[in-house]
Copies of this chain bind each other. A is one copy, B any other.
Amino acid sequence: MTIYSVHFTPGDIAVTVPSGSTLSEAARLAGFDLNQPCGGQGRCGRCAVIVDDARSAVRRRSTIRLDPEDVAAGYALACQTVIEGDAWVTVPPQEAIERRLTTQKTAAKVEVPFDYDSRRQQPIQRYFLRLDPPDLADQTDDWARVTRALAALGVPRPQAALDVLRCMPDVLRGGNCPSPEDSPESGFWDEGSAPWEVTAVVALDSWDRPDGPPQLLALLPGDRTDRNFGAAVDIGTTTVSVWLVDLESGEVVAQAADYNGQIARGEDVISRIIYAKRDERLTEMQGLVVGTINRLLEAACRQVGAGTDEIFKLAVAGNTTMIHLLLAVPPESIRLAPYIPVMNHVPTLTAGELGLAAHPQAVVDCLPGVASYVGADISAGVLSTRMDEAAELTLFIDVGTNGETVLGNADWLVTCACSAGPAFEGAGVECGMRATAGAIEEVWINNETLDPAYRVIGRGTEKPKGICGSGLLSLLAEMFVTGVVDRAGNLRVGASPRIREGEHGPEYVIAWGNETAHGRDIALTKVDIDNLMRAKAAIYAGFTVMAQSIGVDLADVSQMLIGGSFGQYINVEKAVQIGLLPDLPAPPGSASPWDRFRFLGNTAIRGAYMALLRRDVRAHLSAVAGMMTYLELSADNTFYDAFTSALFLPHTDMGQFPSVAAVFEKAR
């Protein structure tokens, strides 16, 4: 056995350990009390240290909790890193680790995903016009005067809505229209302006009017060419997300998300369709989702000091039912065989028609869907993954209230859908919540004591309020691996004081009332577990049945892309452990089985954002939606059988999950 020395900073402490020791053992010798809530299993990432790789010899057994950039920067999980020579290690302050993990996970900065030249690619343009004032020798009418000035800038004769004409005489003569009192949310009234100097906001074209004519959306007093906002919106059955976008730079300047206000009227699309059957309820459902979107638009605008009436374009993704409800178009035929949407391609509308909190003339582009159960959220998701341009076979799974799957490549795309329910979005679960401050987003359970450790989203001081989707997934996996539940999801009541008979049946307590923000215990019940199991079983059954039915072996899929509003927080190992994702060998040329998977977060809003920016990308999106072939899973019993088999942890057929079987055995 060889002895190596390990040098620690801060404190300049050196210890000697035998080869094969872990960095966490060395750190303990050096007097550092590393945080190890998962019990040194490499699952929590809290024992991260920084190794000076240039002069150290260590082997990282697992880097699950680290990004490739982290590893490149020297980060290593102390509990998973084996000493194979002398080593130089920095122990960062615990707050630094917390902050890095947290910041990264909440409002990650969105990079503009492609070259973007707003003048060339963005249909919404602003033009500052300095008009010749009229006189008796030039009695040209206001509207012709404006179109004449636009023509001089190369803008063909536009059309204009009545409201724009109604404001025109006042704005041209130095007034404001509508008056500031009418528009409390307006961002336009802070400056006076000279008469006959105005900014024309023009939509040069739209997807359903690619050859124009342009539309004059507004005349604003003075020179307002400095600001041009748009918004990407994703209407999930459970979660609604909004990105406010600077259309000049292409940057996402603010983000906001919340539960869809329709949840109280039904958790899934079917129950909402049934609820909306009566006319006044259809209007009610529209009002609820519009209310949610408007609160988010207002919140996003507040973040950057903009008025909502500065938004002149919205690109909206959402499943087909959500789009119907947004438009108050009766969705009934979606629910009944043969499952026909009223429309997959929606004409461009205005924010005013829908009551959206944007400029009333703002162009609302509801993105194209494929079928009743594969909507614009999925076509936008595919667009954002670029799988339609890939040579290799790709599987894209969108984990949401509906679980949609798309399989294919640049040559073909097949898609199907199943109803997963809202459990992974923290809804329909007693202690569930969205991934915001106070949500438990990851849980580790000690093998011996069955006591949990957890991480809460926030600045490090928040007490937990509930558990978000990634926390639920993490919790279920830990409960399974540590034997808190058996493979059928039954709780081992009595094995710990935390596993008890609660008011609504057996439950596991993650946090006692004295630890929580509201003073009540946070527990996961058997009912919650069943909801989570049904959700993961539906998604697993969906993509496996589709792959089978078109004769594709999942092992031949080069990349599996996972989207969903919770998708960016979950980790592959745990998702495989509960049987949400398949347990596959490492792909050819890779050492890690996890290399096959990529978590993409909310792909729908990312696709909407891309379509919002560039007219060519928007046109491409229509082509993508057109090339997707929809597979109806309800046609026979195959899906139901697969779903039933998947209602175990990880699956009835443990042979499909060899790596999980191994972990499971080891934990026992």
Contacts and interface: CB of A to CB of B under 8 A. Distances in A.
Contacts of A346: 165
Given A139-B371, A139-B372, A166 B344 contact: no
B342 A142 contact: yes
A342 B169 contact: yes
A170 B330 contact: yes
Interface string A329-345: 11011000111111111
A492 interface: no
A168 B331 CA distance: 11
B337 A136 contact: yes
A156 interface: no
Given A162-B349, A333-B169, A345-B144, A139 B339 contact: yes
A32 interface: no
A81 to B, nearest CB: 54
Contacts of A328: 162, 166
A654 to B, nearest CB: 36
The number of times this chain is found in the oligomer is 2
Contacts of A333: 142, 169, 173
A247 to B, nearest CB: 24
A572 to B, nearest CB: 34
A491 B346 CA distance: 72
Shortest 5 CB-CB distances between A and B: which pairs? Answer: A143-B343, A141-B341, A142-B342, A141-B344, A136-B338
Given A136-B632, A141-B344, A160-B347, 19 more contacts: A136-B337, A136-B338, A136-B339, A139-B372, A140-B340, A141-B340, A141-B342, A141-B345, A142-B340, A143-B342, A159-B208, A162-B327, A165-B327, A165-B346, A166-B327, A166-B330, A169-B333, A170-B330, A208-B213
A635 interface: yes
Interface string A319-332: 00000000111101
A383 B635 CA distance: 63
A144 B343 contact: yes
Given A162-B353, A630-B139, A169 B213 contact: no
A353 B161 CA distance: 10
Contacts of A632: 136, 139
Interface of A: 134-136, 138-144, 159-162, 165-166, 168-170, 173, 208-209, 213, 327-330, 332-333, 337-347, 349, 353, 371-372, 630, 632, 635
A180 to B, nearest CB: 13
Contact of A342 (B135, B138, B168): B168
Contact of A343 (B161, B165, B327, B630): B165
Contacts of A209: 159, 213
24 contacts: A134-B338, A135-B338, A136-B632, A139-B632, A141-B340, A141-B342, A141-B343, A141-B344, A141-B345, A142-B333, A142-B341, A142-B343, A143-B342, A143-B345, A144-B343, A159-B208, A159-B209, A161-B347, A162-B347, A165-B327, A165-B342, A165-B347, A168-B343, A169-B332
A139 B343 contact: no
Q: Which of A159, A161, A169, A344 has the most CB of B within 10 A?
A: A169
A328 B162 CA distance: 9
A340 B133 CA distance: 11
Nearest to A211: B211
Nearest to A349: B162
Nearest to A343: B143
A633 to B, nearest CB: 12
A372 B344 CA distance: 46
